[in-house]
Amino acid sequence: MDYRNLGASGLRVPVLSFGAGTFGGSGPLFGAWGNTDAEEARRLVDICLEAGVNLFDTADVYSAGASEEVLGQAIRGRRDAVLISTKTALPMGEGPQDWGTSRARLIRATEDALRRLGTDYIDLLQLHAFDASTPVEEVLSTLDRLVAVGKIRYVGVSNFAGWELMKSLAAAERHGYPRYVAHQVYYSLAGRDYEWELMPLGADQGVGALVWSPLAWGRLTGKLRRGQPLPKASRLHETAQYGPPVDDEKLFDIVEVLDAIAGENGRTVPQIAINWLLNRPTVSSVIIGARNEEQLRQNLGAVGWSLSREQTERLDAVSTVTAPYPYFPYCRQEGFARLNPPIV
């Protein structure tokens, strides 16, 4: 397993990390992902650690805290061997203080996460969404205090727009607060919007990407084929409306190229899709998930080898789309490209 610095920080993370969204799964979304109990979770953690994957990602909103609880049980007795990443901001109840990132909510959410995880510190706390109702200075000063007292080590965000992230980074610089070193983002061969603004921002500001849903919400598993219905066992029957939109014809074009390259390399379609991501600018770690040991071992097989330059170019070509304004001139026009060199 290779390790990379998380953005412009000293925290070294594995290029593959494990997403615990299946742990304790319940409800229409997370229940469809999986419902791994503590015993099964401990076995998956064992396999991860054997492979060098020591970063485990969760969130308070995953199954109303059950994911954090199960992860805490699975790592019991080996806290020093793992890195824990969790997220907060999305609603955990119906009350006015049950969502967002106000000082009161952040402090309470951190304490609740620590209790559920059974630990006294969180390696990486990420804001799951931008809270436009709370001044960024209030958010950052609260995070600064939580870092100072040792309850969290590093801070990051997830699903921020470019201006939201840049505004926060500027405020942190101005006041001497901890800077966000990670941005947990959706990025896949079937969804490359991250490249238009957030990737250049991350490269410029030292914010590393933690990639969620590298298989495009289960669409790049190789099970979806042109002209064929969804497999009966696909979770897309219940969860497609929650995930990022994907153009079906574009998806099938991508899958066909993935399938061909998988055959050339003796690999699976998911392994090719994940390996492509590992070589993209700003990517610190790709978060893989698994409902069982077989899925986990297959996804772990995405490292330890490389796509050829020609294979990468084929994947780039089939997955590229025209960027919207104001980004497309920087991709198309020579003068724009010279002023702002593309990094992809």
Could you tell me if 17 and 288 are in contact, meaning their C-beta atoms sit under 8 angstroms apart?
yes
The reply to whether 62 belongs to the active site is yes
Three-state DSSP at 256 gives helix
- CA–CA separation, 175 and 269 (whole Å): 46
- CA–CA separation, 207 and 193 (whole Å): 17
- CA–CA separation, 173 and 276 (whole Å): 33
- CA–CA separation, 40 and 132 (whole Å): 39
62, 177, 187, 330: the active-site residue: 62
Three-state DSSP at 87 gives strand
Q: In this structure, what are the phi and psi dihedrals at residue 16, rounded to the nearest 5 degrees?
A: -115, 135
- At 10, list the tokens: 């000293």
Dmax over CA atoms of the chain, in Å, equals: 58
Could you tell me if 126 and 155 are in contact, meaning their C-beta atoms sit under 8 angstroms apart?
yes
Could you tell me if 50 and 305 are in contact, meaning their C-beta atoms sit under 8 angstroms apart?
no
* Residues designated as active site: 62
